[in-house]
Amino acid sequence: MFTLTPIRLSLTLLALTLSLAACNEQTTQPLNQTPTMASTLEAEDQQAALYDQADSLWYLENERAKRLADGESPTSLMQTTPLPTLQTKREPGDYSFTSPPTPPVSRAGQLLNLPDPGSVPRFTVTGLQWPAQVGDLSISMWAQDKLAAFSLTIDDNHVQDHAFWYEMAEQYGWKWTWFLIANQIGWSSADHWGHWQRALDQGHELQSHGQTHLCDALFYTFREYRQSQVEIERQLANAQVRTLAYPFGMHTDKRGSPCEPLTSERTKNSRAEAAKYFLAGRDVYGALSHPAKLDYMKVPSVSSARNFFNPQAAWAYFDSVFNPASANYRTWYVVHYHNLPNDTAKNEVRQVLAYLQTVEDKVWIAPFTQVAKYGQEYASAKLVNLQKTANSVSFELKDQMNDLWFNQPLTLKLRLPDGWSGVLTVEQQAVNRQVRTLAYQGGVYALFEVIPDRGVVTVKY
Please name the residues in contact with 111: beta carbons below 8 A apart, sequence gap of 6 or more: 376, 380, 400, 401, 402
Q: Are strands 332-337 and 148-155 parallel, antiparallel or unpaired?
A: parallel
Please answer whether residues 191 and 185 qualify as being in contact, where contact means their C-beta atoms are separated by less than 8 angstroms. Answer: yes
Tell me the C-alpha distance between 166 and 151, whole Å: 16
For the chain, the residue count is 461
Domain ranges of the chain: 6-77, 147-375, 380-460
CATH 3.20.20.370 matches 147-375: yes
Tell me the C-alpha distance between 441 and 455, whole Å: 33
What was the pLDDT predicted at 58? 81
List the Cα angle 306/309/310 in 5-degree steps.
85
* Coil/strand/helix, residue 330: coil
What was the pLDDT predicted at 82? 47
Q: How would you label 353-376 residue by residue, b for 16+ Cβ within 10 Å and e otherwise?
A: beebeebbeebbbbbbbbbbbbbb
What was the pLDDT predicted at 48? 79
- pTM of the prediction? 0.86
Please answer whether residues 82 and 48 qualify as being in contact, where contact means their C-beta atoms are separated by less than 8 angstroms. Answer: no
Total Cβ atoms within 10 A of residue 229: 25
What was the pLDDT predicted at 291? 98
Q: How would you label 436-455 residue by residue, b for 16+ Cβ within 10 Å and e otherwise?
A: eeeeeeebbbbbbbbbbbee
Q: Which residues of the chain are modeled with pLDDT < 50?
A: 1-34, 74-87
Cα 406 from chain centroid (whole Å):
15
